[in-house]
Amino acid sequence: MSPPPPARTRRVDLVRLRRALPADVAAALDRYERHLAMERGLSPHTVRAYLGDVVALLVHLADGTPDNATVEAIDLTGLRSWLASQHSAGASRTTMARRAASARTFTAWAARNGLLTVDPGPRLSAPRPHRTLPAVLRPDQAGAAMAVAELGAEQGDPVALRDQAVVELLYATGVRVAELCGLDLDDVDYSQRVIRVLGKGSRERTVPFGVPAERAIRRWVEYGRSALVNDRSQRALLLGARGGRLDPRTARRVVHDVVGAVPETADTGPHGLRHSAATHLLEGGADLRTVQELLGHATLATTQLYTHVTVERLKAIHDRTHPRS
């Protein structure tokens, strides 16, 4: 089986296919895009993924000819055929589950807006995704990664100062990388040592950080940001090398480079630092409800799946609380 095309190539193909859709279908997708972004408050990345799935579905139902695509062609048989083609192409269970959910979201919207007479989405089933956890750093490994970032920042290079602020904030707060990059200067409260984060679904929350992160942020803002700031910077807290708001892809590369410099440490990115932060909080005695609030999860079930408690901590709780331990 040939390897899947790179993600960038797939995005370019989907953009080209979307432009080839009939005018009425393109107009419907424009309305759907506004619905996802403005009414549901989804992130730009999620909106692109949802739209890409719908474009791929419509082109599949039109036998690969985008100018023949119609929304009315979507039915249960077509949805199942599309998922079957994904499976044949080697899509993972997680990918198929996400694309099925994306299709159901679109068919529900299309039915509400009169583009479909019947919504076939509720009858569409997909394999449950495998729950995989990212690599988790031990506390000493996380400390070593922070030390690597601090060593680079000691030279006073603006980008190195920013990189230290990136890894310190990600590990201190457990925020998502998109949330980190969306921070403005006014979102940092140094007196309380908290940041104001705008999360998924436009839900706002307040997350604390510690002294090392405060020190890294202050050094970056005073000595690093001032060297990179320009007309593109506006009020963004973290900047790219050209002065614009820091891109999540750059933040991911920063984390991979810093963690990769620690010997015998599993390669991980911002999601791994988020998971490490949650795990270390639990191991330190934090309860799931507190971790849920810090991570910005809508339900406790997500936190339970996202975090894990070490066997040692479970044994310690058992020994301390069970009368027959």
Catalytic annotation present for 315: no
| Residue of 32, 50, 171, 306 marked catalytic | 306
- Strand, helix or coil at 312? helix
Among 200, 252, 256, 313, the active-site one is 200
Which of 233, 173, 181, 244 minimizes the C-alpha distance to 209?
A: 173
List the one residue out of 82, 80, 71 whose CA is nearest residue 107.
Answer: 71
Specify whether 60 is catalytic.
no
Q: What sign has the CA pseudo-torsion 265, 268, 270, 275?
A: negative
Written as six digits, the tokens of 280 are 């270390």
Catalytic residue among 60, 162, 274, 275: 274
Q: Which residues pair with 197 in a beta bridge?
A: 205
322 is catalytic: no
Element (H, E) at 226: helix 226-228
Which is the catalytic residue, given 48, 271, 308, 313?
271
Do 82 and 60 form a contact (C-beta atoms < 8 A)? yes
Reply yes or no on whether 34 is catalytic.
no
State the chain's maximal CA–CA distance in angstroms: 71
Q: Which two tokens stand for residue 67?
A: 């100018």
Count of CB atoms situated within 10 Å of the CB of 274: 24
Structure-block tokens of residue 295: 């991570």
Catalytic residue among 176, 219, 225, 275: 176
Q: How far apart are CA 24 and CA 181, in angstroms?
A: 36
Q: Which residues lie across from 196 on neighbouring strands?
A: 206
Question: CA-CA distance, 106 to 54, in Å (whole number)?
Answer: 7
- Selected catalytic residue, list 18, 35, 275, 297: 297
- The verdict on whether 271 is a catalytic residue reads yes
Cβ–Cβ < 8 Å for 303, 295: yes
Distance in angstroms (rounded) separating the CA atoms of residues 78 and 55: 14
Q: Which two tokens stand for residue 154?
A: 């000691």
Catalytic-residue membership of 218: no
Q: Which residues are catalytic?
A: 176, 200, 271, 274, 297, 306
